[in-house]
Amino acid sequence: MPSPDKETAPSTLPAGAVARDVERHRGANVARVRDAVAEEIPIAFVYNERPHAVMMATPADLQDFALGFSLSEAIIDHAAQCEKVEIVEALAGIELRITIPEKYAAVLDDRVRQLTGRTGCGLCGAQTLDAAVRHPARVVDVATIDALALKRSLNELQRSQKINAVTGATHAAAWAATQGRIVLLREDVGRHNALDKLIGAMLSTGTDSGGIDPHDGFLVVTSRASYEMVMKAATVGIGFLAAISAPTALAIALAKETNLTLIGFARAHGYSVYANAQRVLDQSAQIDRSIAS
């Protein structure tokens, strides 16, 4: 978290942060300074010229956002089916004009799902219970992670957040190798958006095969573990999620249903495992599993 007294030069700001004037009060002292704040604008998803969703998001890594959202919302099955993404600036925001095979675009018409997403809200606009709560297939071949690797990833996580370092206003979703090294990170004012951007980056870059293997590592997020975070992860085959804040009851239930290991309250000094604890190796722990299930 940046210091509230820190002033950042506009020329040094990362994409997704902008400079604004602020009147800063500290006791009896008042100063007018330039401050770094996170951008948040409407981003419209348009598939084959069909408007589908509008999300309030940070306008950075938009190609990743388009691909990740399309995959995590099960609009397409594979990255190659995202044939083209055109980023078009409009007066009110930005349009992501996405071209996918027509049979997948036609399915969107049947889903009758027009999302108006506020920051951190991905279910807004779902019109039926079936549309609101999806049940991804069970994940397979999930890596076993050592507790020391988890601690290492948490130490790297804060240092890797460039937008949050100057604004204090963004979430991050990061992919860590099994040893705990952060290999990819994306940020956004919305936690779901950050995860979508990460998923898009993972599945479009990295290995020679065209992406990072979602079975070879684990996901770390700077937010609570809501149902949607688990749903999006499981949909693309990620089977290990660690959040620095709490999970919800529905997230725990879905994690168990999809065979995903779910960790909450991940901190340098400890963590809580809510589902599939057998994949967490902790040599220093003295485990008491006598609690009734």
Domains of the chain, with CATH numbers? 41-132 (3.10.20.10), 145-281 (3.40.140.10)
pLDDT digits (tens, 9 = 90+) for 16-28: 999 999 999 999 9
Percent of the chain residues topping a pLDDT of 70: 83
The residue whose two tokens read 């705990």 is 180
* 102-106 mean pLDDT: 92
Distance CA 145, CA 256 (A): 18
Cβ(115)–Cβ(127) below 8 Å: no
* 61-79 mean pLDDT: 96
10 Å CB burial of residue 264 (0-12, 13-18, 19+) is: buried
Query: Is the pLDDT higher at 126 or at 278?
Result: 278
Q: What is the pLDDT of residue 107?
A: 84
Query: Is the pLDDT higher at 145 or at 158?
Result: 145
Q: What is the pLDDT of residue 118?
A: 46
The answer on pLDDT for 125 being more than 50 is: no
Catalytic (active site) residue 121: yes
Q: Which is nearest to 188 in space by CA: 92, 284, 55?
A: 55
Distance CA 91, CA 101 (A): 29
pLDDT band at 4 (very low <50, low <70, confident <90, very high): low
pLDDT digits (tens, 9 = 90+) for 185-234: 999 999 999 999 999 999 996 555 458 999 999 999 999 999 999 999 99
The answer on pLDDT for 117 being more than 90 is: no
Q: What is the pLDDT of residue 12?
A: 85
pLDDT band at 116 (very low <50, low <70, confident <90, very high): very low
* 173-195 mean pLDDT: 97
Q: What is the pLDDT of residue 134?
A: 83
* 113-133 mean pLDDT: 52
Q: How much is the mean pLDDT over the chain? A: 88
Range 71-101 burial, b when 16+ CB lie within 10 A, else e: bbbbbbeebebbeebeeeeeeebbbbbbbbe
* Token representation of residue 256: 């168990």
The answer on pLDDT for 288 being more than 90 is: no
* Token representation of residue 91: 């007066």
Distance CA 80, CA 278 (A): 34
Q: What is the pLDDT of residue 131?
A: 57
pLDDT band at 108 (very low <50, low <70, confident <90, very high): confident
Distance CA 190, CA 86 (A): 22
Catalytic: which of 121, 131, 133, 143?
A: 121
pLDDT digits (tens, 9 = 90+) for 239-278: 999 999 999 999 999 999 999 999 999 998 999 999 999 9
